[in-house]
Structures are given as C-alpha cells and as structure tokens.
Amino acid sequence: MSVTVQDKLLKEIDRTKAPNHVAVIMDGNGRWAKKFGKERFFGHNSGVNSVRDTIEASIDIGIKNLTLYVFSMENWKRPEAEIKALMHLLFSSINGELENLNKNNIKLNVIGKKDLLPKVTKKRLETAVEETNKNNGLNLNLAISYGSKQEIIEAVKSISEKVKKNIISLENIDENIINDHLYTRNLDNVDLLIRTGGEIRVSNFLLWQISYAELFFLELLWPDFKKRHFYEAIVEYQKRARRFGKI
C-alpha cells in the first residue's frame, strides 16, 4: 500500500510541539466559484468541506484551539442576497454538523457581534454552543460578525467604565486585564495564523491575539484547502524558531 503525501506530512509532525491555537482566514470562495462560471455561493458551499477537513486535521494532531474567520464585520457590506445565502448556509451547517461535534467531543464557541445576526441564526448558534458546552476536546471558535478593531474598542469601553466605577484601578491595567475583556477571553493567544487565497494581510482578524503568531500564507483558494495543506502549515510552523523578542 503506497504512502500518500498527506501520510508523510502527518508523520513529520511532532504532536508534543503542536501549536496550541491555530487561526484560519478562509479566503477565496468567490474566486473559486468564478473559475467554474458559478455564483459566489457555490464557492461558499464548497468551502464547507475544507472546514470539515481543517477540523479533522486539528483533531488528528491534537490541537486544542481552532478559530475560523467565518464572517467579518466588513462582510455586512456585501450584497443582501449573498448575506442571506451565507446566513442560511451557516444555519444549515450547524444543524448538519452538531451531531458530529458532540461525537468528536468538540466544544463550539462563537465570537463577534452576534446581535447583528438574524434572530433564527443567532438562536441556532447559541443552542449549539450550549449543547456542546460540556465537551472538552477541540475548542472550535467561529468568528462571526467579527472585527478585531471593534473587539478592542468594546474592551476599552468596558475597562474604562470599570475604572470610572473604581472596579479596576488605572495602575493595574495590563495585558491580562485587556485579555479578560476581549471576545477571546478564555483562549490563549494565537500560535499560527493560516490564510488561503493569495492575499498577504490579516484583514482585521484577531489583531491583539496574533501579536507573536507565525503567519502562513497560501496561494490556493479555500475550497481547495485539504488536510495535507493544514499539515504542511504545521510542519512549516515547527521548523520556525519562536523567540518572542529574545535571542
């Protein structure tokens, strides 16, 4: 039986040195659909398979936290028909995958301005979060209606209000205080950020949390992203020296 590239890559990975937190910007669905002469939603729908591969690969390696950039604050500026289609896809995907989430001991979390979501979508997400709350395997974090600048602004407002009420002392404000007021307050900072689609930017995603993350950019479009590409990113990550400013 021949050994595949995917199998070889998986064997290269040292699970004891796997990143604790991986974040992914899933870019290129629309361009992928265009290649086939299809509407953008065809790409979004096909990208669900890549999400599944990424989750499975994370479990294979033993990664504890995976954060996916599902829908940004800027995405609300897209055509109304596309937004409705994306919200429907999100709703149906959660419905279809909830059993597998529990089967694989995955804990779901949602970060972002959830109040902007359609009520039925928001309710479904909240229910799914509640129904997976006792799972203690992979923490799957979906960034939906998310923008890092907005997250930081809200944190500053919340901290300022507590300073005003003498709940927090101005002198005691540090990284830990700020971390505690972000959407990701229960997560460690990102170790590895992966972006598909050929763009070399972070697009207002986890700006505070990726301050010392390793960045891995891929030319391929998101629906073409498979397990082996995720493994490639992990292999590359493990080759890098992470000094955090030290020698």
- The sign of the dihedral angle between the CA atoms of 92, 95, 99, 101 is positive
Give me the amino acid identity at 10.
L
User: Which whole-number Å values give the CA distances from 194 to 74, 149, 158, 222, in the listed order?
Assistant: 20, 20, 30, 11
Token pair belonging to 221? 């479009």
The catalytically annotated residue of 20, 60, 75, 104 is 75
**CA pair distance 145, 75, nearest whole angstrom:** 8
Does residue 105 have an active-site annotation?
Answer: no
The catalytically annotated residue of 27, 45, 109, 189 is 27
Does residue 75 have an active-site annotation?
Answer: yes
**CA pair distance 107, 146, nearest whole angstrom:** 19
**CA pair distance 53, 24, nearest whole angstrom:** 13
Helix (H) or strand (E) holding 70: strand 65-72
Degrees (nearest 5) of the Cα angle 228, 97, 99? 120
Token pair belonging to 174? 């540090």
Query: Which residues form the catalytic set?
Result: 27, 75
